[in-house]
Structure 1
Amino acid sequence: MTDQELLQAAATYQTPLYVYNLDQIALRYKKLSGAFSADTRFFYAAKALTNINVLKYIESLGAGLDCVSIYEVQLGLRAGFSKERILFTPNCVDLLEIEEAMGLGVHINIDNISILEQFGNKYAGSYPIFVRINPHIYAGGNHKISTGHIDSKFGISIHQLRHIERVMQSTGLNIEGLHMHTGSEIKDAEVFLQGLEMMFELCSHFPNLKYLDMGSGFKVPYQPSDMESDVESLGSKVQVAVEAFSKESGKKMQIWFEPGKYLVSESGHFLVKANVIKQTTATVFVGVNSGFNHLIRPMFYDSYHTIENISNPSGPERIYTVVGHICETDTFAWDRKLTEVREGDILVFRNAGAYGFEMSSNFNSRLRPAEVLYHDGEFHLARRRETFEDLLRNQIEVL
């Protein structure tokens, strides 16, 4: 997909606009699945991007689906994922939501002792489950998205293994899988291997174990200096470790991973229009027709997105601070070098496929953008732009 095609999309569908290149998703999935052995499964982390068309496309590639809410489970089933290819890993929900997922027949992952006890006392071993372990391994990256450290709300501490065993023995729980996720942006393959070895050590405590789910954290480069996860090297090392474990223990485990942004991040392009160029005594601002109500990652995570002026790619380079148009501090980038920006130019944010639209809102009563798919050289509208009526759709005027 070329920048000229993106300009065409901006003209056709208007801005702000999310564009997803499905061909890029396919390349990512092919690279990931080709790097690991045949007995490895990949479950797309739906929370990264849940447009129903994207889910359908990822299902067609052969992936499973990792869901964190009952509604993601329902979306997955609507998109065509079989119940056997869906894993439900909620956090801080009550037993009712777990029971709803049971009714849909999907894999269930429980991440706290309270629900584990409630589930065991009510259902014993009648429905096999996964248990999410907190390994107390810090994955790296932004502290807001690391989930494996000791103060994380996710998972049952590995130091509570005896408690899990007591619940299992007293209720007859059938634990078929262990899950471990340390968070996004794992920068060192050894973190995966450290976690995998920890999982192997736990296997002897669970006689019905079939699956080891290692979560995800495959890193994608958001800026030129970033390194990408070497999935080929990781795949080789994981295979060696799994084969050694199988030979030593006589047990064969299927390994699962849950890639989210690794599959969809680079597919996404967020297009905005430069509304105003505003020069102060110290800064030249580019004010665009969007804000953190459409792309919250820079303000929320201090994350970096490459921004390019595709309307004037050959212009002289200048330094700008790119900001939004909502009534709040919503800075996308400070002192960023861009080719000269003129009012009306179209800017593109790269790597905007993951957690972009998915975390958007109607803050300031602004409308959420349209989403467009690009596949086999053609654009397809996948979600219409909101209208004023959408702001009132679920409100009840009682006065």
Structure 2
Amino acid sequence: MQLKDRNYQIQGVDVLAIADQFGLPLYVYDANKIIEKISLLRSSFSGVNLKIKYAAKALTNLSILKLMRQQGVEMDSVSVNEARMGLLAGFEPGQIMFTPSGVSFEEIREAVELGLQLNVDSLPLLEWVGKTYGSTVHVSIRINPHIAEGGNIKISTGHADSKFGISILQRPEIRALVEQYHLSVNGLHVHTGSDFKNANAFLRGAEILFDLASDYPDLTFIDFGSGFKVAYKEGDHVTDIADLGQKVSETFQRFCQQYGRELELWFEPGKFLVSECGHLLVRTNLVKENPSRTFAAVDSGLNHLIRPMMYDAYHDIKNVSNPLGAEKTYNVVGYICETDTFATDRPLPEVRPGDVLSFENAGAYGFSMASNYNARFRPAEVLVYDGTPYLIRQRETFDDLLRGQVDVPVLNSEVIEQ
């Protein structure tokens, strides 16, 4: 989003015009930003056989999935329903990695029947797959490397106490089950969490997987997950993708020479690909001045963007309607009957009732974590592609809130107190 002639624009389209056309609150995504991030990854890992598997949980709209497929990106899913969306978007089953965590064996069965690449993250699941399918199904194994790095503890997944992956200390048990059931292991996987600032965590995870690979002679890929840090505000430290690409690629090439053949190097970026593309546009309902605070209350809340409340995540906020106004300090808050504060003591150009604000970096885990709390509607979604905004999800209606509820006739009669 750029400031030009006092108007914020996405691909040359005035954001206020988008707000007028589709209404507020509204999620708006910039396709060019997604394509830019894909290109950066490819250029940074140009010396290896790279496969990008988009972590669809970040933003699962079918149009976003189709854009990823159009750009040659494949998919990572954590539920069968995510995978089904991928199939609807045109992905082949074999292009979809399925990495469940503690799901039922019935869901695993569905994934196998769909033909997905199964990524196993527990010994009980590995044994069940062995008993049920033997060598007839390819599996990859998700390892917990006991690496405690990354950002907020809620998005750190590779430490010793994490529920994710099979502990590297259980290497003998993994090997025993694979041999007992003649399992076909075609990949090794590690994902240590999010918001890594440099290549160190990936290189440490790589050392563990490369050593483990000696147990499995028929691998076709090594999967390093993701966790690239993006900037949420000016001056934020971000992952140096070019440096990461060089260091990891060199290490991976040496490993492939030792292993005896070239393998595919997989990454599963989610936030990295879609965070910066997204803008949540909201309207200011009122400005409330208390003796100690000035609140800007908007027509949104934790039901649309829960990250600030859940992770203490920072989102830059732009006053789209009054970008050149005199700077004042606000608590930007939502309309939910909870403390849903988007920003505290945030300096902004003067915010007036009716002003349109934009929460930046809202593409990842914004709409995908949205809810109907307080019986509120989820917003519409728009994708700007080649300079044209397209509606990719309709705004919810009251009928959507009632869909699935069942009327119990006995409750329709009036209760008469004796």
- Aligned position for 1:85: 95
Post-superposition offset of 1:207: 2.0
| Partner Cα distance (1:265, 1:249) in 2 | 36
TM-score (norm. length: structure 1): 0.98
Post-superposition offset of 1:57: 0.6
| Partner Cα distance (2:373, 2:318) in 1 | 26
| Partner Cα distance (1:33, 1:181) in 2 | 20
Post-superposition offset of 1:253: 2.1
- Aligned position for 1:282: 292
| Alpha-carbon displacement from aligned partner over 1:306-326 (angstroms, at most 9, x marks no partner) | 001010011100100000011
Q: SS in structure 2 opposite 1:266?
A: coil
Post-superposition offset of 1:198: 1.1
Matches within 5 A, 1:196-345: 196-345=206-355
Q: Which runs of 5 or more structure 1 residues have no equivalent in the other structure?
A: none
Q: Does 1:131 align with 2:141?
A: yes
- Aligned position for 1:16: 25
Cα RMSD after superposing both structures: 1.0
Q: SS in structure 2 opposite 1:327?
A: coil
| Alpha-carbon displacement from aligned partner over 1:83-108 (angstroms, at most 9, x marks no partner) | 22110001101221111111111110
Q: Does 1:173 align with 2:183?
A: yes
| Partner Cα distance (1:122, 1:207) in 2 | 23
| Partner Cα distance (2:370, 2:215) in 1 | 43
- Aligned position for 1:104: 114
- Aligned position for 2:50: 40
| Partner Cα distance (2:149, 2:363) in 1 | 22
Which amino acid in structure 2 is aligned with residue 25 of structure 1?
Answer: I
Q: Does 1:63 align with 2:79?
A: no
Q: Does 1:140 align with 2:186?
A: no
- Aligned position for 2:357: 347
Post-superposition offset of 1:194: 1.0
| Partner Cα distance (2:177, 2:323) in 1 | 62
Which amino acid in structure 2 is aligned with residue 77 of structure 1?
Answer: L
Q: Does the aligned pair in 2 maintain the 1:139–1:187 contact within 8 Å?
A: no
| Partner Cα distance (2:132, 2:353) in 1 | 63
Q: SS in structure 2 opposite 1:125?
A: helix
Matches within 5 A, 1:353-372: 353-372=363-382
| Partner Cα distance (2:235, 2:148) in 1 | 22
| Partner Cα distance (1:170, 1:103) in 2 | 23
Q: SS in structure 2 opposite 1:181?
A: coil
Which amino acid in structure 1 is aligned with residue 177 of structure 2?
Answer: V
Post-superposition offset of 1:378: 0.9
TM-score (norm. length: structure 2): 0.94
Percent identity between the two aligned chains:
51
| Partner Cα distance (1:173, 1:248) in 2 | 23
- Aligned position for 2:36: 27
Counterpart among 153, 157, 171 of residue 167 in structure 2 = 157
Residues 238-247 or 293-302, more deviating: 238-247
Q: Does 1:53 align with 2:34?
A: no
Q: Which runs of 5 or more structure 2 residues have no equivalent in the other structure?
A: 3-7, 412-418
| Partner Cα distance (1:74, 1:205) in 2 | 33
Q: Does the aligned pair in 1 maintain the 2:148–2:159 contact within 8 Å?
A: yes
Q: Does the aligned pair in 2 maintain the 1:89–1:108 contact within 8 Å?
A: yes
Q: SS in structure 2 opposite 1:228?
A: coil
Residues 140-149 or 31-40, more deviating: 31-40
Post-superposition offset of 1:38: 4.2
| Partner Cα distance (2:16, 2:226) in 1 | 34
| Partner Cα distance (1:121, 1:64) in 2 | 30
> How many residue pairs are counted as aligned between the two chains?
399
